[in-house]
Amino acid sequence: MSTHVHATAEVDAGAELADDVMVWQYAHVRRGAVVGAGTIIGRGAYIGTGVRIGVNCKIQNYALVYEPADVAGGVFIGPGAVLTNDRRPRAVTPDGVRKGAQDWDPVGVVLEEGCSVGAGAVCVAPVRVGSWAMVAAGSVVTRDVPAHALVAGNPARQIGWVSRSGSRLTAVGDGWRCPETGREFRVSENGLEPVGSSREREGS
């Protein structure tokens, strides 16, 4: 399938869009950004210079993804969500001089495979959201989120676990179960792990 860029969207020279990418009204993709195949960039979204977006992502309307964010495949970024890039944001230096690009070192947010950042959430760099984790709408993420964790609030705190389908896991004995698939999990020092053989593991 061919890539579609709406007439009102702005894709800078030097941005790389793979096959089947859709860029909708008034979105802006900056130079050096790389967008993987099948990704959808919604109305008014912003993709910063050099940002890397994986395959089959959904970046919803008015989301702001600032460089040097690194977004893996299958990630959902909700409407109005923000990925920041400055530890100590200031408009001017201590002497009152307006800051330029040379006056700060950008730091990025990393979103791992399949995770979701809900509508209006803010990820304050530098943070990493683990694979298949879910950040609830309106949350402010100030520390790393484990894989499959469900976090909410300001600052965001873990309130549960989610499966690859996004279903919240329910407690069963000393483990957890996905209500949609029936698959069971346990928490180890490595995080959330499927119970049983590799053939029974989620996604296999």
- List of domains in the chain: 4-162 (2.160.10.10), 163-204 (no CATH)
CA distance 72 to 131: 9
pLDDT tens by residue, 90-149: 999 999 999 988 888 899 999 999 999 999 999 999 999 999 999 999 999 999 999 999
Residue 1, pLDDT score: 67
What's the pTM? Answer: 0.92
Phi, psi torsion values for 101, nearest 5 degrees: -60, -30
Residue 199, pLDDT score: 39
- For the sheet containing 16-17, what is the strand order? 16-17, 34-35, 52-53, 70-71, 110-111, 128-129
Q: What percent of the chain has pLDDT over 90?
A: 84
User: Per-residue confidence at 195, pLDDT binned at 50, 70, 90?
Assistant: confident
How high is the mean pLDDT of the chain? 93
Q: Which of 20, 38, 37, 44 lies closest to 29, judged by CA?
A: 44
Q: Under 8 Å CB-to-CB from 49, ≥6 apart: which residues?
A: 30, 31, 32, 33, 67
Residue 204, pLDDT score: 35
Residue 87: strand, helix, or coil = coil
